[in-house]
Structure formats: structure tokens, C-alpha cells
Amino acid sequence: MRAFYSILYATLNPAIREQIGVGLILTGENNVIFDYSRTKLSHINAFLPKSASRLLKDNLKNIRHTIDRTIDKNQQNEMDISINGLKERVFTQQYIDYLSRYNKNLLSFSSPVQIDLEASDENFRTLFEKYIFKETSEKQVVKESINTVIKTRLYPKIEGKVNLDADLNIKDLDTLAMPVHVNFIGKNGQPVVGKAIDFQSRNYDLRASFYDLISLIKAFDEKNTKGKYFVIGDEPDKKSEVHHNLWKHISELKYMDLIPSSEMDQIAEFIKKENVQPFLP
């Protein structure tokens, strides 16, 4: 019945040990649960160099990947820390204790704390909201304002280089089956397209937004024209299975780049670097 938890801290200033809790691991006899706050991660990006922000995000994703799979005793995990001799599950109490003592880098672990509770999703969520972040209210803000955020934070940086809020039809692209709205479209020898998708919206609206973009990609493919396609959207709550499955599916597509709203600067950088010009006259 007993389990233990460990808090994962992002180190902002190693000199003064300034840290912020961003994730939590809860481990029981037959279960390991892990999650991290995307909201807090997006907020602390402003305090870290871009390379450090990417490394921090990659480390958190790698931990999730490591927990989700079964590993061999002699294998090394993605953080390059030897786990020789441990049980099949990487994040045992002994291993967390080891990390809390010796892993003092960009991402660090607290000493494991034992609790007389089951390692269940409900208990994990209670601990997560107590020690890391209660995501609900923040996600509602994202749901209501993602297009506003794009227009205020991204549009000023790409205005003049692309067409903003473009409605495309057969006059603009003769292989297009139906009119399509995109947030921006440009060209640099190939089309460069961006479309925001609210992954918290109703199922119908969510799928319609996605299939609009698919329709545009297909129209360009029929003209043997490859393009660069950005989808701007934030990860939805896992409890919304349909929404989260679509988000995950899009994140794995090789012909689209799924960009969270907190990382839109990389789109502006791409457009500037690649000398993108407006697609429409």
C-alpha cells in the first residue's frame, strides 16, 4: 500500500540553488506515475537560455519515455546514468535517492518521501496540485485566448513577410477543393503555412480545423509542391481522450511541426532566416 514521491526541480541559478518544482514522480509496488507542468515550464523559459530550455524539456520527455517502457537491467536511460543492477522499473526508491544526492544539474530530484497511500492516479493528482501546479484554471485561459496570444505575440514579428489571417480558395490554388482559413501563409520556393488549433475546443471544431489544413496540404501535393506546415497548439488535458489522442497524433506527423504557443518565436525565426515572402499578392 505504501508509495513514495519525488519532486523534480528546474534549476534557474545554480550559484544560489534557485529552483522551481516542475514535475512529480509517484512510485508504488506495481506502478510509476509521472507528469510535469507545461504551464510552469513555459513561464520559466524566460529565465533560461534557449539551449537550456530545450534540454530541460527534452529531459522531462525522456523521463516520461523511460517510465513508459520496459527496460533491461544493464541498459542506460536517456539521462546517461547507469542503472546496472536495478529492477526493471527505472525509478525505484533507491534510484531516486541516488539521483537526489548526485544529480545536481539543470533538472534535479528531491529525496524520496514515503507515504501510506496507493500509487493511484487520484493520489498523484492530489500531490501534483499541492506541490507542483493546479493546471485547470491556467488551461482555461489558454483555451479562451490562444488565437489572441498568437495575434499579439507572433503576428507583429511576421507581419509583412507573410499573409495574415488568409482565406484561400480555388482562385488562389486551383487544386483546392474548398475554402481554407489559415493564420498565415508565405513562400520561399515552397509554401510556408501556419494554423492555430485549439485542442480544448469541441470535437467537431477541433477536427474541422485539422482537416482544413489537411485539405490545403493535399491541394499543394497535387501540384507536386512540398511545403512547411506549422500547427500552433497546446497539449490538452489527458482526461479529454479524443482531444489528447489527436494532439499526440499530430505531434508524431513528420510533415507538420506542432509548436506550443510558448515557443512561437521559433516560427518567427524560421520566417526571417528563410526569407519568406507573402504567398498572395
Q: What is the pLDDT of residue 263?
A: 92
Average pLDDT (169-174) is: 94
CB atoms within 10 A of CB 213: 21
Q: What is the pLDDT of residue 81?
A: 38
pLDDT > 60? residue 204: yes
pLDDT one-digit tens code per residue, 131-153: 998 765 444 444 445 788 898 89
Region of 10 (left: φ > 0; alpha: ψ -120 to 50; beta: rest) is beta
Per the model's pLDDT, the better-predicted residue between 184 and 205 turns out to be 184
Q: What is the pLDDT of residue 76?
A: 38
Q: What is the pLDDT of residue 167?
A: 94
Sequence-distant (6+) residues with CB within 8 A of 158 are 164, 184, 186, 267, 268, 271
* C-alpha distance from residue 120 to each of 149, 198, 259 (Å): 36, 30, 31
Question: Residue for cell digits 537560455?
Answer: 49
Residue at 127: amino acid letter: L
Does the pTM exceed 0.85?
Answer: no
Q: What is the pLDDT of residue 83?
A: 34
* Strand runs labelled E in the chain: 3-13, 18-27, 32-36, 107-109, 113-115, 163-168, 180-187, 191-196, 228-232, 257-259, 277-278
Q: What is the pLDDT of residue 98?
A: 84
pLDDT > 60? residue 75: no
- For the chain, helix, strand, coil in percent to 5 are 40, 25, 35
pLDDT > 60? residue 71: no
Region of 212 (left: φ > 0; alpha: ψ -120 to 50; beta: rest) is alpha
Nearest Cα to 41, choosing from 124, 108, 132?
132
The C-alpha cell that represents 112 in the structure block: 524520496
pLDDT > 50? residue 23: yes
CA angle (133 as vertex; 59, 141 as ends), nearest 5: 105
Nearest Cα to 84, choosing from 92, 93, 75, 96?
75
Q: What is the pLDDT of residue 164?
A: 97
Q: What is the pLDDT of residue 135?
A: 60
Q: What is the pLDDT of residue 205?
A: 81
- Cα–Cα dist 2/45, whole Å: 36
Q: What is the pLDDT of residue 140?
A: 42
Average pLDDT (38-60) is: 86
Per the model's pLDDT, the better-predicted residue between 50 and 264 turns out to be 264
Which of 75-84, 205-214, 222-231 holds the top average pLDDT? Answer: 222-231
Q: What is the residue-averaged pLDDT of the chain?
A: 84
Average pLDDT (239-265) is: 89
The answer to whether the beta carbons of residues 275 and 238 sit under 8 Å apart is no
Q: What is the pLDDT of residue 143?
A: 45
- Cα–Cα dist 208/223, whole Å: 23
- Cα–Cα dist 233/21, whole Å: 24
Average pLDDT (33-38) is: 89
pLDDT one-digit tens code per residue, 80-102: 433 333 344 567 888 888 888 88
- Domain segments of the chain: what residues? 3-134, 139-278
CB atoms within 10 A of CB 64: 15
- Cα–Cα dist 168/17, whole Å: 52
pLDDT > 60? residue 59: yes
